Amino acid sequence: MIISKTYDLKEYPTLDSPGVVVTQQPTMYTQQQPTVYTQQQPTVYTQQPAMMMPQHVTVMNQRPTMEIWSSNICDCCDDIPSCLCVFFCRCFYYGCIATRMGENYCIGCSGDQYGCVPGGHLAMRSAFRAKHGIQGSICDDCCLLCCCQTCAMCQLDREIKYREGRK
């Protein structure tokens, strides 16, 4: 069943009808233009900028691996000629060792009762150990030279020969 109703437009008041008061102006709707977004082209640089920015670089210091002496302190029998020279002519032989190390001959002639440079043997042994990265400390060197100077200097002589490639 279909119901239809007809309305008479005269029943409803219009803006021109008497007694009708308009309190608000009618709103006019217009169709807005759609907003168009354009992409900005990327900037292309053809050369490096003139000012350099500081860069932070992290440097990690690694301790070099320490070596050990090529012979023990009591390996004097491995090099008997040097052992005999140190035992019988120690002052002169110590001077020869100092010369081979690039030091003054007089530094080698120290540490004994006839020595002319106090602490020269300690300086020689410590300098050689530091130059070649051999494990130890100046305290170790001092103790060895006080307790067994002949053996310590024989060890230094053997190490110089080893480093020079003569052994």
Whether residue 129 lies inside any domain: the answer is yes
Whether residue 42 lies inside any domain: the answer is no
E strand or H helix that includes residue 154? helix 138-164
Higher pLDDT, 167 or 15: 15
Query: What average pLDDT does the structure give for the chain?
Result: 75
Counted domains in the chain:
1
Whether residue 33 lies inside any domain: the answer is no
Higher pLDDT, 71 or 9: 71
In terms of residue numbers, what domain contains 108?
76-164
The single-letter DSSP state of residue 167 is: -
Higher pLDDT, 84 or 43: 84
Whether residue 14 lies inside any domain: the answer is no
Whether residue 121 lies inside any domain: the answer is yes
Of 107, 163, 110, 112, residue with least CA distance to 134: 163
Whether residue 155 lies inside any domain: the answer is yes
